[in-house]
């Protein structure tokens, strides 16, 4: 782990309607050690040549203390979009936990994306935030099979552990659900996997599932993904090259059928899956405008 200084920490989201209604984004850490073979954050456009090394923004809390009071809109703050805010160092450093305390104190909402069950540690703060603003927690789950999750997400808690954490949050009254992102062609794009994830989400208290029926690939992200395919799934890289070439969006060849199955299963269990419906369901508080004297 390394430490870095940030110039700013709270970034305005120009298009909140496209991603769970988040008004601001915060990345408390730079880089990730989850080792997911498909991670888009390895791409060159993010300018992180050491993505596998977690770097802590050591002045993040000081910056937040200064920036939060200046925001007129007490909107929803997104955590974990680029690098999981619940990495292995968070258990000791508690930067995410202290950030939640600040969001609570200044009455901001929070939208969390994670692959870690460590988020259950902060239920008390999430419930405090919920008194004044909106809270949503999204668990990224790509496969219902723990053994496969060990391969494609090698340093993350198992899918079953994420479902258990989801149940704990849901039972506590937190609006939670699944990010079924990505769906990997030839690996996780089968009907059985989709049905099982929807069912497991339902019995573990999820309110929604949002998905994308493929994976995005570009530059060094694609290179790393193909290296991992050669190691874990010999011969599969050639199928990707033949079908997708240099395309960025690599949709499953079963996309239409999987969409039909997915929507049918979600409707069966009463799970939301459209972005606008998810936002409408969890955003129940009015985001207060802070008025200044001058």
Give the helix ranges, DSSP H, for 3-137.
60-67, 90-93, 95-105, 123-130
Look at residue 289 and tell me if it is in a domain.
no
- pLDDT tens digits for range 184-232: 999 999 999 999 999 999 999 999 999 999 999 999 899 999 999 999 9
| Residue 77 per-residue DSSP state | E
- Is residue 293 very low, low, confident or very high in pLDDT (cuts 50, 70, 90)? very low
List the beta bridge partners of residue 289: 73
Tell whether the model's pLDDT for residue 101 goes beyond 60: yes
Look at residue 253 and tell me if it is in a domain.
yes
Looking at the structure of the chain, the number of domains it has is: 1
Look at residue 261 and tell me if it is in a domain.
yes
Q: Among 42, 50, 43, 40, which Cα is nearest to 4's?
A: 50
Look at residue 292 and tell me if it is in a domain.
no
Look at residue 196 and tell me if it is in a domain.
yes
Look at residue 161 and tell me if it is in a domain.
yes
Is the peptide bond preceding residue 232 cis, with omega within 30 degrees of 0? no
Check residue 248 and give its pLDDT: 94
Look at residue 290 and tell me if it is in a domain.
no
**Strands across the sheet with 55-57, in order?**
2-4, 55-57, 29-30
Q: Which helix (H) or strand (E) holds 31?
A: none
Rounded Cα gap, residues 137 and 167, in angstroms = 11
- Tell me, letter by letter, the H, E, C secondary structure of 143-193: CCCHHHHHHHCCCCCCHHHHHHHHHHHHHHCCEEEEEECCCCCCCCCCHHH
- Is residue 292 very low, low, confident or very high in pLDDT (cuts 50, 70, 90)? very low
Q: 3-class DSSP state for residue 50?
A: coil
- pLDDT tens digits for range 33-83: 888 999 888 887 776 777 778 888 888 999 999 999 988 888 999 998 878
Rounded Cα gap, residues 71 and 176, in angstroms = 26
Check residue 18 and give its pLDDT: 80
Query: Domain range holding 210?
Result: 2-282
> 65: domain CATH number?
3.20.20.70
Does residue 70 or residue 164 have the better pLDDT?
164
Q: Among 276, 271, 248, which Cα is nearest to 194's?
A: 271
- Is residue 288 very low, low, confident or very high in pLDDT (cuts 50, 70, 90)? low
- Please compute the mean of the pLDDT values over residues 263-291 and round it to a whole number: 88
Look at residue 172 and tell me if it is in a domain.
yes
List the beta bridge partners of residue 55: 2, 30
CB 103 within 8 A of CB 78: no
Check residue 90 and give its pLDDT: 93
Supply the pTM of this predicted model: 0.93
- By the 10 Å C-beta count (0-12 exposed, 13-18 middle, 19+ buried), 32 is classed as buried
């Amino acid at each position: 782990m390394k430490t870095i200084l940030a110039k700013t920490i709270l970034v305005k989201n120009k298009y909140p309607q496209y991603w769970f209604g988040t008004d601001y984004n915060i990345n408390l850490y730079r880089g990730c050690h989850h080792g997911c073979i498909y991670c888009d954050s390895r791409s060159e456009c993010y300018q992180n040549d050491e993505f596998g090394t977690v770097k802590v923004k050591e002045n993040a809390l000081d910056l937040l203390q200064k920036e939060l009071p200046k925001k007129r809109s007490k909107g929803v703050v997104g955590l974990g979009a680029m690098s999981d805010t619940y990495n292995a160092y968070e258990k000791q450093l508690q930067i995410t936990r202290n950030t939640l305390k600040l969001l609570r104190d200044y009455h901001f909402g929070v939208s969390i994306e994670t692959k870690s069950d460590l988020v259950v540690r902060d239920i008390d703060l999430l419930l405090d935030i919920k008194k004044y603003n909106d809270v949503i927690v999204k668990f990224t789950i790509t496969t219902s099979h723990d053994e496969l999750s060990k391969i494609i997400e090698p340093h993350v808690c198992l899918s079953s552990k994420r479902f258990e954490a989801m149940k704990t949050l849901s039972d506590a009254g937190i609006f939670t659900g699944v990010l079924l992102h990505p769906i990997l062609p030839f690996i996780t794009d089968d009907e059985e996997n989709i049905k099982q994830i929807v069912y497991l989400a339902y019995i573990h208290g999820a309110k929604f599932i949002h998905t994308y029926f493929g994976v995005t690939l570009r530059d060094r992200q694609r290179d790393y993904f193909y290296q991992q395919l050669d190691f874990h799934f010999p011969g599969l890289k050639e199928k990707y090259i033949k079908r997708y070439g240099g395309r960025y969006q690599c949709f499953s060849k079963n996309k239409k059928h999987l969409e039909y199955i997915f929507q049918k299963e979600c409707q069966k269990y009463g799970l939301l899956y459209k972005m606008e419906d998810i936002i409408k369901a969890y955003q129940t508080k009015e985001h207060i405008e802070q008025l200044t004297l001058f």
